Amino acid sequence: MSAMPEATINTVIIFKAIVRFISIFGVWGWFDILGASILLFGCAGELWMLLNKLPEHNERRASLKGFWSFLDRAESSIRRIGVRLKIIRSRKFSELKEHLLEGFFISLVAIGVGMEMCSLPFSLYVSAQSNKAAGDAMKYAADSSSNSVQVLRQVAGLNKEAADARVIAGKANERAANTESNNLVLQSRVLELEAKAADRHISEKRIKDFIKSLGDTPRGGVFTGVRHPDYETLNYAAEVCSMLTNAGFTISSKQNFSEDVSPFYKNSDISIHIDKADDAPPYAFALGIAFFQAGFNPTIFTNQPGRFYTPNEGHPGSNEVLILVGEKPQ
């Protein structure tokens, strides 16, 4: 496809510019402007002819007074300026030339007035259409404003409904949170009850902590016993004896006690009994510390001086230590 010549492109550009320029006011608008311009030119010509017809200053009458004297001086000043600027001739035209020029300028005035009269109906029509369009636009704007008010009212109603919904949702969330909190409490309680109901066992970690706490402490014989022996307590006592054996101690004897041999601390299920602090085995206090380090919370007892102990009460003699395993704490 061949390229367009540059002259053709320039012509198209100029034509589009002319079309845009004409479309600013429309054909009748430009026709009205042309008529007004011709009318203005004709009136200016008539004024120019009038100034050229003015008599010289020495021809003026000295008897003019008041307003007429002001007009006489104004015309004289305008004539002098026009003559100096060479707009007005210093000499008058001949009568024939004056007649021809006057006829030409009057014709221009008549043509300009005629053109304006021709374009006046169309200008009035365009003005009426513009006023109608403006009225329709104002009506549309009023309708839009009314619709906007209705929309704003609907939006306000929706916002209120949304706020109410948020309040309801907040209350529902609060109830759900309370329910969830209650469920967690119940679950915690269930787990706690399950833990209390479950049999006691000694984990590998507690055994390692127990042995680690003893360190190089010398080992020896240990008396063991079970208070209120039941199936769960006997099994737990067997694990305690196994832990002591693994730590290097010797189980000297095992005995069951059906009575409350001694009151245990709260949440304590193991007690360590010695005769006196000054005749206890060298490993007795290390055993107590090891039980604490392994998380057993043991109860420490010594024999009461001068008291007689029955065989069912279980008490160690000199240089002896008794490890008593009790029932599961409630």
Positive or negative torsion for Cα 306, 312, 313, 314: positive
CA distance 195 to 18: 98
β-bridge mates for residue 301, sequence order: 273
pLDDT over threshold 50, residue 58: no
Q: In this predicted model, what pLDDT tens digit does every residue of 239-254 receive, in sequence order?
A: 999 999 999 999 988 8
What's the whole-number mean pLDDT along residues 248-263?
A: 81
* Angstrom distances, CA of residue 241 to CA of 135, 151, 236, 252, 280: 106, 84, 9, 11, 20
CA distance 244 to 221: 10
The span from the first CA to the last CA of the chain, in angstroms, equals 103
**Token code pair at residue 322:** 């008794």
The per-residue pLDDT for 62 is 60
Most confident of 46-50, 79-83, 281-285: 281-285
Residue with tokens 């269930």: 190
227, 223, 275, 288: which is closest to 254 by C-alpha? 223
pLDDT over threshold 70, residue 210: yes
Q: In this predicted model, what pLDDT tens digit does every residue of 156-173 receive, in sequence order?
A: 888 888 888 888 888 888
pLDDT category at 57 given cuts 50, 70, 90 is very low
220, 198, 189, 188: which is closest to 287 by C-alpha? 220
Which residues have C-beta within 8 Å of that of residue 234, sequence separation ≥ 6?
Answer: 226
What's the whole-number mean pLDDT along residues 138-162?
A: 79
pLDDT over threshold 80, residue 261: no
Q: Please tell me the least confidently modeled range out of 9-23, 129-143, 280-294.
A: 9-23
Q: CB–CB of 280/315 below 8 Å?
A: no
pLDDT over threshold 60, residue 60: no
Which residues have C-beta within 8 Å of that of residue 245, sequence separation ≥ 6?
Answer: 251
What's the whole-number mean pLDDT along residues 310-316?
A: 66
* Average pLDDT taken over every residue of the chain: 78
What's the whole-number mean pLDDT along residues 266-272?
A: 87
pLDDT category at 118 given cuts 50, 70, 90 is confident
pLDDT category at 206 given cuts 50, 70, 90 is very high
The per-residue pLDDT for 1 is 46
